[in-house]
Structure 1
Amino acid sequence: MTAAPEPSAGDEDGGGLRGALSGLTTRGRSFLAAGIAAAICAYVLGQPDLLRVGLLLAVLPLVAVTVLFRTRYRVAGSRRLSPGRVPAGSESRVYLRVDNVSKLPTGLLMLQDRVPYVLGPRPRFVLDRVEAGGRREVSYRVRSDLRGRYPLGPLQLRLSDPFGMCELTRGFSAHDTLTVVPRVEALPAVRIAGDASGFGDGRHRSLALAGEDDVIPRGYRTGDDLRRVHWRSTARYGELMVRREEQPQRSGCTVLLDTRRAAHRGAGPDSPFEWAVSGAASVAMHLLEQGFSVRLLTDCGSAVPGPEGSGGDSSAAAGLLLETLAVVEHSDNSEEEGFSRAYDVLRGGSEGLLVAFLGSLDDEQAAVVARMRARTGAAVAFVLDDAAWAGESRPAGQAAFRHRQQLLREAGWTVLAVSPGDALPELWRRADGQRTSEGAPVGGLTGSGA
């Protein structure tokens, strides 16, 4: 970003000078007031020597304002974030660079960058003097325990005269954005989906069952393996033709995040909703690393596609999912709607693996979630115990909570209750352990609400 602190032709009129007078510091105003008072006293008492002193005191700040206002140098500024996207609780360093692009050295400069209060105090730097064509670089750190997108800037440059009589502020126009994404925990490589990898062999099987005449060839390209040359098509077209590369089929996974405002209590980095968001990010990143095609689905029915919607690039899909989870907020979904929109999205096709992070459920919403199981190959639900997170002990509430878990288990879900202090890696391992110990098939995972 660049800015020109010196006034333009239109700023040199009386209005611009009046604006510069507003930049008088406490010292400058004191000198001006003392000079005016001395001049008045000199007139009343008839003391010409006192009048000269008063004029000197009054003129000095005005001269400082005029000189500073008409200073003819230009300063360019830039900002760089390293990194521009960080997990919650991690630090990012912001680098500021100031270049004096004029032919005159600058005076005393003070840099001030605007940052949201959640990132820390507003950074200020004092630069003594920047020679003509010179540059200065400074840096500061920002950190937030709350995910989100935070604007940085615009950078402000404060000019001061050598006597400290006047300070003028010039603002740069550009700003940057720091993205704070949810914390991502490393999960153990278990076989919850019934396969250690997200790649299946369905595509290979379909090609194996196809006859030699069913192969669709393409023209030979430099570097193609000669063992893939399709001689019958080569003879037919009169040029080298090769079999198309066989692409393994990617297993699909949907991560369902309950964002209903009524389903989560509390706020802040230690709230149950933030635990659910972090859990959804951790599971999504883990399954992407395992080769799955992952999409994020909320109770409102909004879905963020996985690699298939990002050109098949897993890294792009990971970035898209994290960017979405960085700004996801509570929804005002009514109790009547609940999970009905998400259910309609899932009803559109068969899902491979469904991992749900759920808040407080009533019987009606538990029944809707239970029906989602019919469209999946495996389903795991992390149900947050709202009473435990709120520090309450209600026997009636706990009985209802266990009853709704049982509804999900009877539908084929693997259900794990989440209490404060529970670690997602251990819950993830426990979900696989329950399937192994009970010998349940992939389509019939069961679990306890431990």
Structure 2
Amino acid sequence: MRARPLTARGAACLLLGVVLCAAANILAARALLYVGVLLIVLPLIALLAVRAPRRRGDVWRQISTDLLAVGETSRVTVRFELYAPGIPRGRWSDTLPEAVRGDATGEYPGESRLLHYDLEGVRRGTATLGPLLLRTVDPFGLAQRVQAFGQTRMITVVPQVVALAPLPTRLGAAGGAAQTRSTRVGQGADNLIPRAYLSGDSRRRIHWRATAHRGSLMVRQEEEEASPDAVVVLDRAASRWQSAGGAVDPAFEAAVSLCASAALRFAQDGYSVDIFDSAGSLLGALRGHEDDRDGLLVALATVTPRGDSRDLRTIVGGTPPGPLVVVTGAIDPDAAARLSTAGASAPMLIAAGARADALAVAADRGWNVAALPPAADPADVWEAALPQAKAAHD
């Protein structure tokens, strides 16, 4: 932030002094000359008084939440240690990125060295807070000085997560860790004899300990009986979304939020969850650890529309999942006709900006479908796509 060395008052004072000196020369009025010189000297003395002192400062920031979600408010505490002759008076302000908003200003010095303000997440992504700016003026308000102190701090704004309704209980038999079946009763997963990897096996079944021991890919044999997994796919193909010029696409933001919410809903219900993008890249995996949740949200904080879509069967692999959720954008009937349910027990397709006839085609192919308008409540859209909602409608 660059500020003029003189305030509006100081600039006016200097200009008036120059005018009076010129008038005094024309009118031969010595009194006007004295006043003009005084008005010229005052801003210069004020400028020297404000800018001459050497100042340095240290800044520490503490944010009440490690990850700030869109629509969430977090408290920021800033400790500002200023080393300077005397105590300058002015206003402090912390530099905020576009991803957040808040009233990060106040009088300096305050009652303590701790400065406080609230932040609200408004846009997904990573951004930086800071530096801290201190604007000081002289007692007459003629000159000003703006200095930056401290380092910046990275902040991550993650997608908003909303509470969603659980899937019908009857679908638990098709997936979910609590309902996993195995013919090898009493044996742990690590004690089962793994088998060699075959083409078409799901990547989720790879037995990493056996792979490291054998030197070749091995898979877990016990998952042949039933899959305990849920899969969520975020279709980020560029052709599905409107993101020209780097502008925020509200439809894509709603899709990312619903993707995160669906994955966490499945994890809460006991499923092991894999989250892929439409190109087959793994965005996150939820296995019951808190770090998994944070890792997924951080990954989703920076996703953007790009690339093309792959066939769902190549993403899911040879073992059909239990629940399968695909969150996509504007698809046409031809694209909907090519969407395979990959043998999932509960396939759900939620589309933002899709045509009604495209959703009808997908429904005919076995999908439980729902449209996702940008301003809609994600919880209502999710409930409309649940298999039980479709059954009630039929």
Q: TM-score, normalised by structure 1?
A: 0.65
Q: Is 1:275 the equivalent of 2:254?
A: yes
Q: Write the mapping of 1:51-450 to structure 2, written as runs, cut at 5 A.
A: 51-102=33-84, 104-117=85-98, 119-120=100-101, 123-127=104-108, 129=109, 135-172=112-149, 173-188=151-166, 190-191=168-169, 192-194=171-173, 197-199=176-178, 205=184, 208=187, 251-264=228-241, 271-307=250-286, 314-333=289-308, 338-340=309-311, 343-347=313-317, 351-370=321-340, 372-374=341-343, 376=344, 378-384=345-351, 386=353, 398-399=356-357, 401-407=359-365, 409=366, 413=367, 415-418=368-371, 420=373, 421=376, 424=379, 427-428=382-383, 431=386, 433=388
Counterpart of 1:112 in 2: which secondary structure? strand
Asked if 1 retains the 8 angstrom alpha-carbon contact of 2:158 and 2:297, the reply is no
- Letter of the structure 2 residue corresponding to residue 322 of structure 1: L
RMSD over aligned Cα, in angstroms?
Answer: 3.9
1: CA distance, partners of 2:175 / 2:273: 15
Secondary structure in structure 1 of the residue aligned to 2:77: strand
- Would the alpha carbon gap of residues 348 and 39 (structure 1) be closer, same or farther in structure 2, given more than 3 Å must change? farther
Give the aligned residue type for 1:356: V
Report the CA distance shift for 1:382/1:199 in structure 2 as closer, same or farther (over 3 A). Answer: same
Per-residue CA deviation, residues 374-423 of structure 1 (Å, 9 max, x unaligned), is 4x4x2421333746xxxxxxxxx64554233212x1xxx5x133365575
Maintained 8 Å contact 1:153/1:176: no
- Please say if residues 88 and 180 of structure 1, whose CA atoms lie closer than 8 Å, have aligned partners that are also in contact: yes
Distance 1:355 1:109, change over 3 A: same
Aligned residues of 1:110 and 1:124 also touching (Cα < 8 A): yes
The 1:107/1:39 distance shift into structure 2, 3 A limit, reads same
Q: In the alignment, is the contact (CA less than 8 A) between 1:253 and 1:295 conserved in 2?
A: yes
Letter in 1 for 2:364: Q
Query: Could you say what secondary structure the match of 1:159 adopts?
Result: strand
Deviation at 1:206, TM superposition (A): 6.3
Shift of 1:426: 7.8
Equivalent residues, number: 353
Q: Is the 8 A contact 2:236 2:278 kept in 1?
A: yes
Amino acid in structure 2 at the alignment position of 1:39: C
Residue deviations 1:50-82 (CA, integer Å, cap 9, x gap): 333322221111111112222144333333222
Q: Are 1:85 and 1:178, in contact at CA under 8 Å, matched by a contact in 2?
A: yes
CA distance in 2, matches of 1:64, 1:209: 79
Q: Secondary structure at the match of 2:115?
A: strand
CA offsets, 1:8-39, max 9 Å, x none? xxxxxxxxxxx99x511121122222223333
Unaligned runs of 5+ in 2: 194-225
The one-letter code matched in structure 1 to 2:269 is Q
Rate the CA distance shift 1:123–1:38 in 2: closer, same or farther, 3 A: same
Are the aligned partners of 1:147 and 1:327 in contact in 2 as well (CA < 8 Å)?
A: yes
Note closer, same or farther for the CA distance 1:199–1:253 as it changes in structure 2 (3 Å cut).
Answer: same
> Once the two structures are superposed, what CA deviation does each residue of 1:201-234 show, in whole Å capped at 9, x if it has no partner?
6679265499x9x9xxxxxxxxxxxxxxxxxxxx
What is the rounded CA distance, in whole Å, between the counterparts of 1:209 and 1:28 in structure 2? 80
- 1:235 aligns to what? none
Please say if residues 110 and 157 of structure 1, whose CA atoms lie closer than 8 Å, have aligned partners that are also in contact. yes
In the alignment, the residues of structure 2 paired with residue 284 and residue 143 of structure 1 have an alpha-carbon distance, to the nearest angstrom, of 24
Asked whether the 8 Å contact 2:174–2:228 carries over to 1, the reply is: no
Q: Tell me how far 1:285 sits from its aligned partner.
A: 0.7
Aligned partners of 1:184 and 1:125: how far apart in 2? 34
Could you tell me whether the CA contact under 8 Å between 1:257 and 1:297 is conserved in 2?
Answer: yes
Q: Distance in 2 between matches of 1:313 and 1:54?
A: 76
CA distance in 2, matches of 1:427, 1:379: 13
Per the alignment, do residues 348 and 169 of structure 1 end up closer, same or farther by CA in structure 2, a change over 3 Å counting?
farther
- 1:251 shift after superposition: 2.5
Change (3 A) 1:25 1:60: same
AA partner of residue 314 (structure 1):
H
Whether contact under 8 Å (1:362, 1:404) holds in the other structure is: no
Kindly indicate which of the two structures has a greater share of residues assigned to helix: 1
Could you tell me how far apart the structure 2 residues matched to 1:345 and 1:32 are? 71
Letter in 2 for 1:406: D
Please tell me whether Structure 1 or Structure 2 has the larger radius of gyration of its CA atoms: 1
Task: Describe the shift of the 1:379–1:432 C-alpha distance in structure 2 as closer, same or farther (beyond 3 A).
Answer: closer
CA distance in 1, matches of 2:333, 2:383: 26
